[in-house]
Structure 1
Amino acid sequence: MRKNVVIGFLGTNLDAGKRRRWRPSVQIAQHPDFPIDRFELIYSGRWLSLAEKIKTDIELASPKTEVLLNHIDIQDPWDFEEMYGAMYDFARDYGFDDEREDYYIHLTTGTHVGQICWFLLAEARHIPAKLVQTGPPRSEEDGPGTKQIVDLDLSKYNALQQRFDLVTREYNTLLKGGIETRNPAFNAMIDRMEVVTSNSDAPLLLIGPTGTGKSDLAKRLYELKLQRRRIKGRLVHVNCSTLKGERAMSTLFGHRRQAVPGAGADRRGLLQEADGGVLFLDEIDELGLDEQAMILHAIETGKYLPLGSDYEVTSRFHLIAGAGKNLAEMVANQRFRADLFARLNLWTFSLPALRDRSEDIAANIAFELERMEKLLGNRIAFNADAQAAYQKFATDPGTHWPGNFRDLSASIQRMCTLAPRGRITQAMVTTEIETLTTTWHNASRDPDMQILTQYLGENAANIDEFDRVQLAAVIRVCTQSASLSAAGRRLFAASRAAKTSRNDADRLRKYLEKFGLDWRTCQS
């Protein structure tokens, strides 16, 4: 037969009867529906005589109850650290036998700090016990008083568990942008991401090729952190591929007016703007090594030094980093700091390409149609044959979707914009498929576009065709030259011969900055 064991503090006021005749440690043993086989009575300091008196009174009131006195040396029962440490040591050394005994913690006696510690120890299952709260009788006819038992094992409460599951599903839906996904790997990643984001303030690293939705996911992670009250500030989105040359440090960390020629005022910097919120460093693989070092220092200490400042500035933010390249490979090639990668790699999430989520394409097409309806103010849908044709093309293993979801979104937007009377026809689908395949083919065979994409990523598509050939030629010369000056002398040899070029290196540097590039980037 299982035994009931009660663990509780000696009430130095209540058990002494200073406030009323009701003494909770004695009365709890008098409930006929709650027989107690053993009472572990905990006391501290100089209260041994009172503990012995209560022990005697309990044994008189309930002869079948064995009372054991446990001395715990506590100097200040209102000191949380001391109290929790002492109670944790008691629980660790006790030797619970929960196969033969049922344990109950008597919450009524002891300080409020002690009650909080009991709750934490029971909730974490350091003590495998239920909680018991007792109260005085309303009248002499009410017997020993009231008694309420609470079990903190929440897995037994189906209604509560269902509410927790519902909240988790709501958070998962938020991270998916409201799109019902079926890909097992993606859904598992979202589940893990929700748990990490809700319970950790550590940096998150999102890895994936262009167009896989890193920026959108970062916004949703920010919203989740906001809902879970882990942050209060704003989301600051930084595209690191645009931070080239001398402007990078000033943009990220700010500057004092005297440190930058021509600056009319101090600049706060984006790290300061992110204080209390989330800093999203998109394309962090494009960030320079010096900037990486300062970012690492800011992550670890919450402090950094603006340009021209003699003292550090504090900014506490959550970091989300996005990368389209293999950072481990970049570390091996000394193009990314190993210490920063180690700091970011605690929670890494790899976003799959669209071609690897073929089962989710239909849901994403429906999502894009709804988005275009809001954008254009008109309901748009596929004809049945058109939808079948587009769906077949979109899910075909031979359709690679190099721009991933960005390509899919642009494709749907084109058809919706051109759809007569809100219907996408099969002829429109045929034309769109031809447009996509031609564009992808041309991009893959155009050597200039290939080199621009290598160094500029998705921004290469924003460069006018007029500038592409020239910029690609400049980048090729830079990759083949030993220094910025050598590249400048080669590129501007005719100007120098005509004595119209005075500083080839500076001229080349300014040209590269026009496109967000610098010499160091062209060497990588």
Structure 2
Amino acid sequence: MKNKRTVVIGFLGTQLDNGSGAARWEKWRPSVALTQYDDQVIDRYELLYTGKRFESLVQRVAQDIASVSPETALRTHDLPIDDAWDFEGVYGALYDFAQHYPFDPEREEYWIHITTGSHVAQICLFLMTEARYFPGKLLQTSPPKRQQAGNPGNYALIDLDLSRYDQIAQRFVREQQAGVAFLKSGIATRNARFNAMIDEIERVAVKSKAPMLLMGPTGAGKSFLARRVYELKKSRHQIDGKFIDLNCATLHGDGAASTLFGHIKGAFTGAGSDRPGLLRSAHKGLLFLDEIGELGLDEQAMLLKAIEEKRFFPVGADAEVHSDFQLIAGTNRDLAREVAAGRFREDLYARINLWTYELPGLAQRAEDIEPNLDFLLAQYGAETGERVRFNTEARARFMQFAISPAAAWSGNFRDLSAAVTRLATLSEAGRIGIECVNEEIGRLQRQWRHHVADEHGEVDLDTVMGAEAAAGLDLFDALQLRSVLQICRQSDSLSDAGRKLYAVSRAAKARPNDADRLKKYLARFSLEWEHCGRK
């Protein structure tokens, strides 16, 4: 197969390539030197220059290249650049050149010469090669150590396809893994769905400034994750301002707009001085608005303008103010339903719904309870200076309860954190024993009993399956079915309910199919998941 033709694209060196008379051959001129290598033939040279004032130099360089390398076809291009140090002008001219140039990578190899031209031109060539507008390699040349006629110096090629460099690729992988570990606070979480979500959040956090929406129940860790995203971006020098955290459920009445957008003195009764507002406090930083579904419609409209335009009116002001903040929103509501019900603006929902992640509750991440338990114990030790550990029996007892259907974890990680704090505080000589664990389990069960009774009252079988069918059940079947349906109503999916109901027996099966077992059980009573699951 015939080798590809070598094509160089580069600027004329208005100083380096200059020279006249026979003395010019005594100095190193990079554009000419490129065509003097014995081991490398340049098939075509695309020489870029700017303006008629350099045409005589272009002609002299063209003549010299023709004399030392007749094989090289030289083509010159006068680019419309008024100021070689104006980034916008240089980049625009090179972009237009690249868009119209007939690149043919299958037959030609392109070397982008970055030794000549202004520093701005060199930077633009680098950026456009990195972005593949110029589908080639960077070419760097240097003069010989001793000036000598006919010595072309040295050249080096730089391929910006980083996937070709194993060590660099490995460093990027390590950096990405470190970012993921940072977002998880170093907790070795095991839930595959959660881990995949954090992997994506890490990539989005370091590449995007677009709003992010975190959904999930109270206590699932939305505020904690938002702060970690902020700290990750700040460690990468992608953000300079503050982290501002606000629970929108705490905003009431006329004070809501003032808290968010600020006000001017005299805007309303009691406004004795100007107030900047949290959006301005978050300038160049990150604003986390938890429970964003609690915002009023007027505040939602103002927030949408602030997100899109980075400008808004403080309460009572005639002039707009500016704030360039990044938004992360949190909610435990289904905002799509809120939009349908007219309680949340559709345009704001569309704007914050680009990157949406649903954080599962602790009960849906049973395999992550143990690593979080270890993390919380270590955190307690760091804060108090006291090393606290479970004894073997106590740990086994707590974990057995923690991952069982009896553990509602209605407060999610807040409940777990509170439980660990109580256990550690009541431990004897830094050891948590079985009696301490049993007392804590009883405390949690009493705490959750009211929650379960309120949220999941006794199932009315007459309503679920019809009075006639319900009347035909034995008391044993009726009691069991009510309990099963209560678990179904507390679960996010058929599989989730099955895991809770068959938590013990599934461990003995090589391939447990909890969903199928539950589906068959419900079918005995002519019931389907769609009529039994969470509403």
User: Please, what TM-score do these two structures have when normalized by structure 1?
Assistant: 0.80
Distance change (3 Å), C-alpha of 1:404 and 1:145: same
1:386-410 Cα distance to aligned partner (Å, 9 max, x none): 1122222222355332211111111
Deviation, 1:48, is 4.6
> What amino acid does structure 1 have at the position aligned with 2:63?
T
The CA distance in 2 between the partners of 1:353 and 1:37, in whole Å, is: 64
The CA distance in 1 between the partners of 2:321 and 2:63, in whole Å, is: 64
What secondary structure does 1:385 align onto? helix
From 143, 150, 158, the equivalent of 1:150 is: 158
Match status 1:129 vs 2:129:
no
Match status 1:293 vs 2:301:
yes
What secondary structure does 1:140 align onto? coil
The CA distance in 2 between the partners of 1:349 and 1:248, in whole Å, is: 26
What secondary structure does 2:439 align onto? helix
Distance change (3 Å), C-alpha of 1:256 and 1:102: closer
Match status 1:307 vs 2:315:
yes
Determine the structure 2 residue equivalent to 1:219.
227
What secondary structure does 2:34 align onto? helix
Distance change (3 Å), C-alpha of 1:98 and 1:308: closer
> What amino acid does structure 2 have at the position aligned with 1:33?
D
> What amino acid does structure 1 have at the position aligned with 2:28?
W
Determine the structure 2 residue equivalent to 1:445.
453
Deviation, 1:206, is 1.0
The CA distance in 2 between the partners of 1:54 and 1:104, in whole Å, is: 19
| Alignment of structure 1 residues 408-487 onto 2, 5 Å | 408-446=416-454
| Alignment of structure 1 residues 246-261 onto 2, 5 Å | 246-261=254-269
What secondary structure does 2:371 align onto? helix
What secondary structure does 2:419 align onto? helix
The CA distance in 2 between the partners of 1:196 and 1:97, in whole Å, is: 34
What secondary structure does 2:429 align onto? helix
The CA distance in 2 between the partners of 1:324 and 1:84, in whole Å, is: 46
Indicate if the aligned counterparts of 2:263 and 2:314 stay in contact, CA closer than 8 A.
yes
User: Please, what TM-score do these two structures have when normalized by structure 2?
Assistant: 0.78
| Alignment of structure 1 residues 100-499 onto 2, 5 Å | 100-137=107-144, 138-140=146-148, 143-397=151-405, 399-446=407-454
The CA distance in 1 between the partners of 2:188 and 2:9, in whole Å, is: 50
Match status 1:57 vs 2:59:
no
> What amino acid does structure 2 have at the position aligned with 1:219?
R
> What amino acid does structure 1 have at the position aligned with 2:18?
A
1:285-340 Cα distance to aligned partner (Å, 9 max, x none): 11122222222222223233333333333333221111110111101101111121
Indicate if the aligned counterparts of 2:306 and 2:312 stay in contact, CA closer than 8 A.
yes
Determine the structure 2 residue equivalent to 1:35.
41
1:181-220 Cα distance to aligned partner (Å, 9 max, x none): 2222222222221222212222221111111101111111
Determine the structure 1 residue equivalent to 2:19.
17
The CA distance in 2 between the partners of 1:351 and 1:443, in whole Å, is: 21
The CA distance in 2 between the partners of 1:68 and 1:277, in whole Å, is: 49
1:132-176 Cα distance to aligned partner (Å, 9 max, x none): 222233231781123222222222222222222222222212211
The CA distance in 2 between the partners of 1:190 and 1:446, in whole Å, is: 33
Distance change (3 Å), C-alpha of 1:269 and 1:14: closer
The CA distance in 2 between the partners of 1:447 and 1:28, in whole Å, is: 78
Query: Could you tell which deviates more after superposition, 185-194 or 363-372?
Result: 185-194
Distance change (3 Å), C-alpha of 1:259 and 1:178: same
Deviation, 1:113, is 2.2
The CA distance in 1 between the partners of 2:451 and 2:192, in whole Å, is: 32
The CA distance in 2 between the partners of 1:342 and 1:218, in whole Å, is: 20
Deviation, 1:242, is 1.1
Query: Could you tell which deviates more after superposition, 104-113 or 366-375?
Result: 104-113
Percent of paired sites with the same residue: 52
The CA distance in 1 between the partners of 2:321 and 2:134, in whole Å, is: 45
The CA distance in 1 between the partners of 2:266 and 2:76, in whole Å, is: 72
The CA distance in 1 between the partners of 2:277 and 2:16, in whole Å, is: 59
Indicate if the aligned counterparts of 2:32 and 2:64 stay in contact, CA closer than 8 A.
yes
Distance change (3 Å), C-alpha of 1:264 and 1:83: closer
Indicate if the aligned counterparts of 2:10 and 2:48 stay in contact, CA closer than 8 A.
yes
The CA distance in 1 between the partners of 2:150 and 2:369, in whole Å, is: 68
Indicate if the aligned counterparts of 2:338 and 2:344 stay in contact, CA closer than 8 A.
yes
Deviation, 1:49, is 4.9
Determine the structure 1 residue equivalent to 2:84.
77
Give structure 2 stretches of 5+ with no counterpart. 458-535
The CA distance in 2 between the partners of 1:133 and 1:368, in whole Å, is: 54
What secondary structure does 1:233 align onto? coil
The CA distance in 2 between the partners of 1:228 and 1:273, in whole Å, is: 21
What secondary structure does 2:214 align onto? strand
Determine the structure 1 residue equivalent to 2:528.
none
The CA distance in 1 between the partners of 2:279 and 2:80, in whole Å, is: 48
> What amino acid does structure 1 have at the position aligned with 2:43?
D
The CA distance in 2 between the partners of 1:214 and 1:95, in whole Å, is: 51
The CA distance in 1 between the partners of 2:455 and 2:117, in whole Å, is: 78
Determine the structure 2 residue equivalent to 1:67.
74
> What amino acid does structure 2 have at the position aligned with 1:120?
L
The CA distance in 1 between the partners of 2:143 and 2:288, in whole Å, is: 57
Query: Could you tell which deviates more after superposition, 398-407 or 10-19?
Result: 10-19
The CA distance in 2 between the partners of 1:48 and 1:261, in whole Å, is: 72
> What amino acid does structure 2 have at the position aligned with 1:28?
L
Determine the structure 2 residue equivalent to 1:494.
none
The CA distance in 2 between the partners of 1:435 and 1:429, in whole Å, is: 10
Deviation, 1:380, is 0.8
From 85, 94, 106, the equivalent of 1:99 is: 106
The CA distance in 1 between the partners of 2:7 and 2:270, in whole Å, is: 78
The CA distance in 2 between the partners of 1:45 and 1:97, in whole Å, is: 28
The CA distance in 1 between the partners of 2:148 and 2:422, in whole Å, is: 83
> What amino acid does structure 1 have at the position aligned with 2:218?
T
Query: Could you tell which deviates more after superposition, 28-37 or 40-49?
Result: 40-49
> What amino acid does structure 2 have at the position aligned with 1:27?
A
1:427-460 Cα distance to aligned partner (Å, 9 max, x none): 22222222222221222224899xxxxxxxxxxx
